[in-house]
Structure 1
């Protein structure tokens, strides 16, 4: 098979959580542009339907699902509905996340629990549900959205729970990759750097944006589209011998 053909996802079935906006929406479009059918899962059902409709205009099949990734039963039903629609789940992109700022000594238990519930527990529940089905299929690719925050401490904004959760996502990914590799299921993660999205805009006053750019060797903030190539690579046969990998896409931020 020619190398570019190994990147094609024609006829595959994918689910993207947090797929209604930001990086997740960009991931959904990347998969669709590569030929995959896509289920857009998000807490915002209305927005998920809009994104799914836009994906269908690209010539693939799409569906939307309103899902709370912190609820195991909702996650189970999400995977079951995708499998019922397309007969299988080939690609799971677990991207839903939140980021709540607080100094470590000031973070409330409620904010800690909320962050860990979505950013770590939610990723685990989705990985587990997708993995169970893919193990039965004997094949599949799971990509979890981690963050460079799993390797560094952000500045000037402080994200103790977010950083801890994303570090957990990296190790969760490695663990599942080790357990499932011999059974045909690959598990990898993508760690974005400072990327312009509606969520990061909440932390970006003028000073923060300039600090982030000045600490990035490439001299700019990332765009969601900067992550699309890596996502398609990890989802496709082009990465058939890659598992347990944490692909950092940060413009060089973590070099310093």
Structure 2
């Protein structure tokens, strides 16, 4: 028996939301697993910094500023990534936002922004990435970052828009997995539990962090680094028969 490899050497990855939080950790983890990485996020010094950290791992990095709600921006970014780094075969879509508001008073604009970034942005990202992968004919693997909030409703958090967007990411990933399964592209999602990112320590949830940890069987929130292994696994040849999977990484939260 040959032990499957988790290495990603000589491959090109495209990561959205790469400048912070889970996306940043995964972008660096992919690089440390051997892939060159195009980092896509809003412009700012954090985007350049993650690319510097990736280059320190001995691989190539390309910062590309853009917005996941802009199909043209994504198409141009993927094209540029391929022209600089080579054919795209790996992608992680991590760009997302969160906020809270009671459903009965939530402005339409607040609902729409979360859906536009978290769900439509994932669709547009997958679309641009898959078009490139299909054109190159080498296949590929796409991982979308969902949330356990797509499976459960978080006690004390009034975030119907966020929960709905992440449930949509999970089912979108399954749908795309089936659509592209015979064409060499695998699509999976990861659903993190409470994770110590800027999003989950934002002011409106700060008082609830202690409860988050108490409600998690492992007794704490995840670190962003604990999402790297699951992402590298799903991207790698070790997961060659995995598609349409939603991998819960929640410290056991959804068992209760």
Cross-structure match for 2:161: 161
SS at match of 1:222: coil
Give the distance between the partners of 1:216 and 1:205, measured in 2 at CA. Answer: 16
- Supply the distance in 2 between the matched residues of 1:115 and 1:106 (Cα, whole angstroms): 15
Task: Work out whether 1:177 is the aligned partner of 2:172.
Answer: no
The C-alpha deviation readout for 1:188-209, integer Å capped at 9, x for no partner, is: 0000000001111104323x11
1:98-177 matched pairs, under 5 angstroms = 98-138=97-137, 139-177=139-177
Partner residue in 2 for 1:193: 193
2:246 is matched with 246
What corresponds to 1:205 in structure 2? 206
Alpha-carbon distance, 1:86 to partner = 2.0
The root-mean-square deviation of aligned C-alpha atoms, in Å, is 1.2
Q: Give the match for residue 15 of structure 1.
A: 14
Task: Determine the C-alpha separation between the residues in 1 that align with 2:86 and 2:218.
Answer: 43
Q: List gaps (5 residues or longer) in structure 1.
A: none
Instruction: With the length of structure 1 as denominator, give the TM-score of the two structures.
Output: 0.96
Shift of 1:169: 0.4
- Name the residue aligned to 1:80: 79
Distance 2:242 2:136 in 1: 19
Aligned residue number for residue 54 of structure 1: 53
Q: Take 1:113 and 1:64, find their aligned partners in 2: how far apart are those partners?
A: 28
Q: How many residue pairs align between the two structures?
A: 254
Q: What is the CA-CA distance between 1:2 and the residue it aligns to?
A: 4.2
Post-superposition CA distance 1:122-152 (Å, at most 9, x none)? 0000001111111223310000000001011
Find the residue that maps to 1:195 and give its secondary structure: coil
Distance in 2 (alpha carbons) for counterparts of 1:162 and 1:188: 19
Spell out structure 1 runs of 4+ moving beyond 4 A. none
